[in-house]
Amino acid sequence: MLKLYPSEIFKEVPMDATLRKRYAVSNYGRLISYTNEFFDGRELKGGRADGYRTLDYRITLPDGKKKCKYLFIYKLVGQLFLPKEEDHTHVIHLDYVRDNDQVSNLKWVSRVDMLAHGQRSPHVIAARKIPRLGITGKLNATQVIRLKKLIHDPNRKTRLKIIAKQFGISEMQLHRIKSGENWSHIVI
């Protein structure tokens, strides 16, 4: 037996295939499966795809093969409960929480507005503040200058293999620096 929240409304999910059960979503973002009446149904958690709640189901194709499909709950709530303008093609979460699928938290927007909304996300802003590690490479310009001076020193006694190990690079990388294929813009 399903318990309804005050002012909760369920609408049936339009499916592109006939399934054993029928599905419905509410304006609170809840997903249920039922056979005849909403009240006889049971609430489903649904799946997850990149933090978004989904309705996963499987259909059988005419050739006998099975195919897995899924629908995003927030898109279903947007299609069934929100008025849509012609140029608005995407549904966004106003509070940036991907599993909060209440109709009061969703809004139809254009692609440009969706991208701008994503840039204002607190997750994106926090990610910008974190320095990107591993992008800079193993060597910087100062190290390359020191390396080139070592390589081109006529009185050098150290083998190239040992120099490469000192700087934490491969022998091939050292060869490319020596031949001018890499870091050729730095001249000593």
Q: What is the pLDDT along the chain (188 residues), one digit of tens a residue?
A: 788 888 999 999 998 888 888 999 999 999 999 998 888 889 999 999 999 999 999 988 889 899 999 999 999 999 999 999 889 999 999 999 999 999 999 999 999 999 999 999 999 999 888 877 655 678 888 999 999 999 999 998 889 999 999 999 999 999 999 999 999 998 88
Residue 117 has a pLDDT of 96
Which of the four CATH numbers 3.40.190.10, 3.30.1330.200, 3.90.75.20, 3.20.20.80 does domain 10-129 have? 3.90.75.20
Domain range annotation of the chain: 10-129, 141-179
pLDDT of residue 134: 58
Is 74 buried (19+), middle (13-18) or exposed (0-12) by CB count in 10 A?
A: buried
DSSP string, 140-176: -HHHHHHHHHHHT-TT--S-HHHHHHHHT--HHHHHH
pTM across the whole model: 0.69
- At residue 104, the pLDDT reads 95
pLDDT at 9: 92
Residue 120 in contact with residue 130, Cβ under 8 Å? no
Beta carbons within 8 Å of 57's beta carbon, 6+ residues apart: 15, 17, 19, 68, 69, 70
